[in-house]
């Protein structure tokens, strides 16, 4: 996982869900840190695909809990 990807990912998440980016850490659970539901998570995948110019199939995201793990999945698709 690149530091750049995870930082960019957290900044994007903070902007999208009005969170304090300074309070987010790579090892945080996304759903808990952002306080989002599954509908918001679905929308966020589109934002990520757009921002990083990748496709993120849902089945590859199963079990992904943290920003770091998600950043890793994004990097593997680039």
Partner 1 sequence: MSDSPIRFTVDDSGVGELVLQREPCNEIGTAMTGALEAWLDALDTDRVHTVIIRSSVRGGFCAGADLRELHAGLVASAKEEHPAALRGFLERIHAVMNRIDMLPVTTVGVVHGVCFGGGFELALTCDVIIAEKSARFCFPELRLGIIPGFGGIPRLRRDVGNATIRDLLLSGRSVSAKRAHALGMIAQVVGRGEGLAAARALAEQSGKFDDRARRECKAFIKRLPTDELEREKELFVELALRPPLLNALAKFVESTDLRPYLP
Count CB-CB contacts under 10 A for residue 51.
14
Q: Which residues of 5-16 are buried (b: 16+ CB within 10 A; e: fewer)?
A: bbebbbebbbeb
Under rule CB under 8 A, residue 38 binds partner 1:
yes
Candidates 7-15, 18-26, 38-46, 70-78: pick the segment binding partner 1 (CB under 8 A).
Answer: 38-46
Least separation in angstroms between CB 73 and partner 1: 13
Among residues 39, 70, 75, 77, the one that binds partner 1 under rule CB under 8 A: 39
DSSP for residue 18: T
Q: Which structure tokens are listed for 77?
A: 């698709």
Taking the complex as a whole, how short is the minimal distance between the CB of residue 58 and partner 1, in angstroms?
5
Least distance in Å: CB of 30 to partner 1? Answer: 9
């Amino acid at each position: 996982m690149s530091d750049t990807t995870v930082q960019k990912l957290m900044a994007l998440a903070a902007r999208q869900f009005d969170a304090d980016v300074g309070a987010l850490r790579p090892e945080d659970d996304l759903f808990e840190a952002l306080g989002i539901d599954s509908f918001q998570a679905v929308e966020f995948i589109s934002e990520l695909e757009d921002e990083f110019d990748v496709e993120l199939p849902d089945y590859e995201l199963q079990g992904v809990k943290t920003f770091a793990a998600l950043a890793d999945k994004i990097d593997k698709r680039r």
